[in-house]
Amino acid sequence: MTKRFALGIFEDEDVLLHAVENVREAGVKIYEVFTPFPIHGIDDALGIERSRLPIAAFFFGLTGLSFALWMQIYMLGFDWPMIIGGKPHIALPAFIPVTFELTVLFCCHGMVITFYAISKLYPRWKTPVLDVRSTDDKFVMAIEVNENTDMNKLTQILRENGASEVNQKEMSKF
Amino acid sequence: MQHVSPVREPLVTGGKTYHDVTQDVCRQVEAAPNIRWMAALSVALLLLGVFFYSVYRTLWYGIGEWGLNKTIGWAWDITNFVWWVGIGHAGTLISAVLLLFRQKWRTSINRAAEAMTIFAVICAAMFPVLHMGRPWLAYWVFPLQNTFGSLWVNFNSPLLWDVFAISTYFTVSLVFWYTGLVPDFATIRDRAKGPIAKVAYSMLSMGWKGSAKHWSRYETVSLILAGVSTPLVLSVHTIVSMDFATSVVPGWHTTIFPPYFVAGAIFSGFAMVLTLMLITRVVFKLEDYITIEHIALMNKIMMVTGSIVGVAYITEFFIAWYSQVEYESYAFINRATGPYWWAYAAMMTCNVITPQLVWFRKVRYSIPLTFVLSIIVNIGMWFERFVIIVTSLHRDYLPSSWAMFSPTIIDVGIYVGTIGLFFTLFLLFAKFFPVINMAEVKSVLKYTVDNGPTYTGRDPHHAPQPVTTHGVPASAPVNYDKHD
């Protein structure tokens, strides 16, 4: 399916931030904004919900913690109990370091894998982008358009809000 | 919107625009390798050859190739292991702890420092694995039942904690580093001309496009990774120190070991970061990004941690006397005046006296002095580990088994070889990966352009920088009051 986009190119992140607010106020739906670096405040301006990754990270950590405790208690406490250094079979203080490390291990890797999965980031042969300058020094606001869109009006809105260029681009599979 | 005091030092000098940052960092990735890089790589590969030869000798003839004896079962191998792990710690400190403390200056050095962490941990891991004697059975350290029954690994042993600590530390540092690299790979991908570079960087960048939603998640992930890496990095060297502290050997059985080791690790790590950065900034012409201010700030951290280490040395001595334990006090008198006094003297000079020179502003801001200092600190920290390990072991409770240690050529070869391994990896990284985090530097650029030129220098180091903007100025005329 081919999609058509109007691209507002901005030179500065602060100009973009105001433009995002104004364009949305004018009733235009922004498809996506592409920037070379994270811009603080743009989530609110675009209405992006706060990520729930921290919650996921917490539960991954909790899984690691439970797994580590279960593993050590089962192995040294029940499966093959041994007295080591005169300690009880289940010597909890001695189990803490491994428990901590596995909590961190599960938390980090679980969260990072979730991040790549939900963001659909995986190695690809080629990556089509709307404007190659958006990973360099330009801030690109993409608005999905069709035959019925009033391009002149849209261009005017973008121009008024500080866009240095307004382009159109068609993309299949985007 | 950030509020920055106008008297702050600029983070990036030279009035760079966003495009300049991309150009300056991508330049060496895109250009053909230069002769200096080739020369450096040749030396590193030569040392790597020494490493492979020494490893071959160790594996073919066994651990007898090393200078170990019945009394001193741990010597250069564990010294080198602790030394390399310690060096690695500075990378995590810069990327995680400084992120939590919102120290924006870390943005120009975190990428290379994290790379250093990863390569240092790889070098460190070589030693315990080779010391096993049969490295092909290295998986026995993981909780797998043994071949004869159902005996598990010993979770009470600090050596096993080390396995978990180091492997967690390595993999977490690796994903932290890689996730930070993804947006920069995307920048290189979008600039790439050659077909191989296009595919390679497209693969590496995982289809990153820089959409606002992805950036939002990316920031969340970075923050949480920093949050968990901070206790992780402290735990790693704590556990390394417990390899010694939980034993009953005089000189090792000390409760101050964990904080003392962590401070020492950061101390040596920052020394190594300084060594690498001072070379990198010149070779790749990145003086505007890794500025003299960065060097001064790192010097300050080195001074603080070096002083902590100095206090720890003195505390150990005091406790050896104050505890009235005969063996403990002998261990320390033997360290300072016994047959290894020279190692002890080297450690004290390099680690206690040299960092105090950084109190002088002239030293802190001098590139040649900092370079020499950073090398001295690394030598000193190697001697610290040697002193702790060998002088404690060589004369313990039973005088009849007292012995001396001398390294063989293979011991030296493996150590020098890991330096080759480290520099081979680092040079490859510096050529093919962006050595500076472009995205993060761009995000702190305004910190400079708006505030830098207003600063009026008070000494020749801080002559006001002329604002030269190439092409479009990074900060277009914007009414800041409107948003604030």
Q: How many CA atoms lie within 13 A of B51 on its CB side?
A: 20
Residue B148: its pLDDT value, please? 63
Burial of A164 (0-12, 13-18, 19+ CB in 10 A): middle
- What is the pLDDT at residue A102? 95
Per-residue confidence band for A110, with pLDDT thresholds at 50, 70 and 90: very high
- pLDDT higher for B116 or B445? B116
Q: How far, in Å, CA of A151 to CA of A146, rounded? A: 9
Tell me, what amino acid is at B418?
A: T
- Which residues are CB-neighbours of B145 under 8 A, at least 6 positions away? B151, B152
Split at pLDDT 50, 70, 90, the class of B149 is low
pLDDT tens digits, one per residue of B270-309: 999 999 999 888 888 888 888 888 899 899 999 999 999 9
How many angstroms away from the CA of A158 is the closest CA of chain B? 16
pLDDT attached to residue B473: 42
Task: Quick: pLDDT tens for B117-133.
Answer: 999 999 999 999 999 88
Provide the chain A residues 105-164 that lie in CB contact (below 8 A) with chain B. Answer: 105, 107-109, 111-112, 115-116, 118-127, 129-130, 132-137, 162
In this predicted structure, which of A146-155, B208-217, B240-249, B255-264 has the lowest mean pLDDT? A146-155
Per the model's pLDDT, the better-predicted residue between A75 and B13 turns out to be: A75
**pLDDT above 50: residue B481:** no
Mean pLDDT of B165-192: 92
Residue B333 is predicted with a pLDDT of 92
User: What pLDDT, on a 0 to 100 scale, did the predictor assign at position B4?
Assistant: 58
Give B357-380 pLDDT, tens digit per residue. Answer: 999 999 999 999 999 999 999 999
CA distance A41 to chain B (A): 8
Would you state the pLDDT for residue B218? 92
From its phi and psi, is residue B80 left (phi > 0), alpha (psi between -120 and 50) or beta? alpha
Question: What is the average pLDDT score of chain B?
Answer: 86
**Do A111 and B224 count as a contact with CB atoms less than 8 A apart?**
yes
CA distance B422 to B331: 34
How many other C-beta atoms can be found within 10 angstroms of the C-beta atom of residue B261?
29
**Residue A73 pLDDT more than 60?**
yes
What is the pLDDT, as a whole number, of residue B118? Answer: 94
Per the CB < 8 A criterion, the answer to whether B249 and B392 are in contact is yes
**Quick check: A128 and A169 in contact, CB under 8 A?**
no
pLDDT of residue A143: 86
Min Cα separation A149/chain B (Å)? 23
Q: Which of A82, A85, A100 is nearest to B157 (CA)?
A: A85
Residues of chain B positioned with their CB less than 8 A from the CB of A98: 155, 160-161, 164
Has residue B334 got a pLDDT over 70? yes
Evaluate if residue B451 carries a pLDDT over 50.
Answer: no
pLDDT for position B337: 93
Q: What is the pLDDT of residue B151?
A: 82
Per-residue pLDDT reduced to its tens digit, B455-471 = 333 444 444 444 444 44
Structure tokens at B36: 């200096």
Instruction: Say what the pTM is.
Output: 0.89
Give the pLDDT of residue B2: 53
Averaged pLDDT for residues B317-339: 91
**Facing residue for B224 by CB, picked from A36, A57, A72:** A57
Exposure b/e, B62-98, CB count within 10 A at least 16 = b: ebebbbbeeebebbbbbbbbbbbbbbbbbbbbbbbbb
Q: What's the mean pLDDT in B200-227?
A: 91
Quote the CA–CA distance of B183 and B438 in Å, as a whole number: 9
Which of residues 13 through 72 in chain A touch B, CB cutoff 8 A?
A: 14-15, 17-18, 32-43, 46, 48, 51, 53-54, 57, 61, 71-72
Average pLDDT for chain A = 88
pLDDT at A174: 64
List, edge to edge, every strand of the sheet that includes A2-10. Answer: A32-34, A139-145, A2-10, A165-172
**A92 and chain B: CB distance < 8 Å anywhere?**
no
With 90 as the cut, is the pLDDT of residue B13 above it? no
Centre a 10 Å sphere on the Cβ of residue B243 and count the other Cβ atoms it contains. 22
> Between residues B465 and B16, which one has the greater pLDDT?
B16
pLDDT confidence of B447, banded at 50, 70, 90?
Answer: low
